């Protein structure tokens, strides 16, 4: 038995219940994990609310965590009892003290990365690594634009892009957030409620525009984001062949981003190396006891 946060129906935070859950019998290819930290993500609220369907109810929610391997199933050769590991992107069920999980989902945590950072930065780290190294390879001399620059993802993208030698422009809603983004590598925070970010980006890039926009907002910023890329201006019909054909629109999802265990391992190594270099500030990080997940810290 393990204590876990489980939902029996979808809804608001009130559907989160702290209760005993049977961990079940270890299957081939799985390990039993004693969890030492759980990462909270926005997607958890999608599962809780029913926006993203879960396979069956009741279910333990949560997609990210870190812990210690306590037991090893048949055919697991990569891990040993006592290994410190982390995972992100599921399978769903991380809001628990103990769980079974396919070994293929795990990566070993280097000694220099503690459980809380391991759990908090796994998904964001892998996503940022994908954004700045693969989706678009940020280079020294680039000027890039990131929306929601003071958000959890935004702050990590700012730091990593700056580390790669880019000039970082970021949009934020308040002065406080502008300061936060600036302290994480954003060279030019734009207060989008006070100034037109498209105009400001043109001004900052001498009319050239940016080679990439990391737009995690979407509807409200999409047209403006297109306007900031290269020399594109005006309205675009996405179904027409030009001029949008000159730009690539990518909507990464975790499963497509690191589809195989080996690619997940590669990208995690990369992300961990970056964090070990000291670039791992999790701004405004908050922690709470798992049983208080419904109330927050
Ligand atoms: N966290 C992850 O690991 C991860 C992984 C993959 C994808 N994502 C995606 O990346 C995006 C950002 O995630 P996050 O974890 O960085 O979120 P977050 O920390 O909650 O930041 C979101 C920020 O977006 C800004 N925003 C602008 N317009 C908004 C709107 N209409 N509604 C809500 N927020 C708006 C707000 O900042 P301002 O007040 O400055 O506008 C808000 O603080 C989300 O779409 C998420 O699904 C996140």
Mention every residue, 6+ apart, whose C-beta is less than 8 A from residue 28.
73, 74, 75
If you measure from the C-alpha of residue 147 to the centroid of ligand 1, how many angstroms do you get, rounded to a whole number? Answer: 9
If you measure from the C-alpha of residue 41 to the centroid of ligand 1, how many angstroms do you get, rounded to a whole number? Answer: 10
Question: Any idea what DSSP says for residue 239?
Answer: T
If you measure from the C-alpha of residue 172 to the centroid of ligand 1, how many angstroms do you get, rounded to a whole number? Answer: 11
Protein residue closest via CA to atom 20 of ligand 1: 151
Judge if the beta carbon of residue 285 lies within 6 A of ligand 1.
Answer: no
Q: Which of 171, 205, 164 is nearest to 186 (CA)?
A: 171
Q: What is the pLDDT of residue 48?
A: 97
Nearest-angstrom CA–CA distance, 249 and 265: 26
Mention every residue, 6+ apart, whose C-beta is less than 8 A from residue 276.
110, 112, 113
If you measure from the C-alpha of residue 221 to the centroid of ligand 1, how many angstroms do you get, rounded to a whole number? Answer: 12
- Which residue ranges of the chain lie beneath pLDDT 70? 230-247, 252-285, 297
Mention every residue, 6+ apart, whose C-beta is less than 8 A from residue 241.
none
Is-contact 129 271, C-beta < 8 A?
yes
Closest ligand 1 atom to residue 150 Cα is 40
What number of other Cβ atoms are within 10 A of residue 245's Cβ? 8
Name all domains of the chain by residue range, CATH numbers in brackets.
2-109 (3.90.180.10), 122-253 (3.40.50.720)
Q: pLDDT (tens digit, 9 = 90+) per residue, 173-197?
A: 999 999 999 999 999 999 999 999 9
Residue with tokens 């999409």: 222
If you measure from the C-alpha of residue 148 to the centroid of ligand 1, how many angstroms do you get, rounded to a whole number? Answer: 6
Is-contact 96 16, C-beta < 8 A?
no
Protein residue closest via CA to atom 31 of ligand 1: 217
Q: pLDDT (tens digit, 9 = 90+) per residue, 158-172?
A: 999 999 999 999 999
Q: What angle (nearest 5°) sits at the alpha carbon of residue 170, between those of residues 166 and 172? A: 160
If you measure from the C-alpha of residue 150 to the centroid of ligand 1, how many angstroms do you get, rounded to a whole number? Answer: 9
Nearest-angstrom CA–CA distance, 219 and 199: 19
User: Is the link from the previous residue into 58 a cis peptide, with omega within 30 of 0?
Assistant: yes
Judge if the beta carbon of residue 221 lies within 6 A of ligand 1.
Answer: no
Which regions of the chain does DSSP assign to beta strands (E)?
A: 2-7, 16-21, 30-39, 59-60, 64-72, 84-87, 98-102, 107-108, 143-146, 167-172, 188-191, 213-214
If you measure from the C-alpha of residue 74 to the centroid of ligand 1, how many angstroms do you get, rounded to a whole number? Answer: 40
Protein residue closest via CA to atom 28 of ligand 1: 217
Judge if the beta carbon of residue 124 lies within 6 A of ligand 1.
Answer: yes
Query: Which of 40, 42, 159, when mutated, tests ligand 1's pocket best, judged by the most ligand atoms within 8 Å of its CB?
Result: 42
Q: What is the pLDDT of residue 229?
A: 81
- Rounded to 5 degrees, φ, ψ at 39 are -90, 135
Q: What is the pLDDT of residue 219?
A: 84
Protein residue closest via CA to atom 10 of ligand 1: 216
Closest ligand 1 atom to residue 220 Cα is 31
For residue 116, with 0-12 CB atoms within 10 Å meaning exposed, 13-18 middle and 19 or more buried, which class applies? middle
């Amino acid at each position: 038995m393990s204590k876990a946060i489980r939902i029996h129906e979808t809804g608001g935070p009130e559907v989160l219940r702290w209760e005993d859950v049977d961990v079940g019998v270890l299957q081939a290819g799985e390990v039993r994990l004693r969890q030492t930290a759980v990462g909270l993500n926005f997607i958890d609220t999608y599962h809780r609310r029913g926006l993203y369907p879960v396979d069956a109810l009741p279910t333990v929610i949560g997609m990210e965590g870190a812990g210690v391997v306590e037991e090893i199933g048949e055919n697991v050769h990569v891990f040993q009892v006592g290994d410190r590991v982390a995972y992100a992107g599921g399978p769903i069920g991380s809001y628990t003290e103990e769980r079974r999980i396919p070994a293929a989902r795990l990566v070993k945590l280097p000694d220099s990365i503690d459980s809380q950072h391991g759990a908090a930065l796994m998904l964001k780290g892998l996503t940022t690594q994908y954004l700045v190294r693969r989706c678009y390879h940020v280079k020294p001399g680039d000027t890039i634009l990131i929306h929601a620059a003071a958000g959890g993802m935004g702050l990590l993208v700012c730091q990593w892009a700056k580390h790669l030698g880019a000039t970082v422009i970021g949009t934020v809603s308040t002065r406080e957030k502008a300061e936060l983004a600036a302290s994480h590598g954003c060279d030019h925070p734009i207060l989008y409620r006070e100034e037109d970010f498209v105009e400001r980006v043109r001004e900052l890039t001498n009319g050239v525009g940016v080679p990439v926009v990391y737009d995690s907002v979407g509807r409200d910023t999409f047209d403006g984001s297109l306007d900031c890329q290269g020399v594109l201006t005006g309205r675009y019909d996405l179904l027409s062949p030009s001029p949008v054909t000159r730009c690539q629109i990518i909507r990464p999802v975790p499963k497509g981003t690191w589809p195989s265990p080996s690619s997940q391992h590669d990208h995690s190594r990369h992300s961990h190396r970056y964090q070990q270099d000291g670039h791992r500030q999790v701004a405004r990080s908050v922690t709470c006891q798992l049983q208080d997940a419904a109330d927050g810290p």
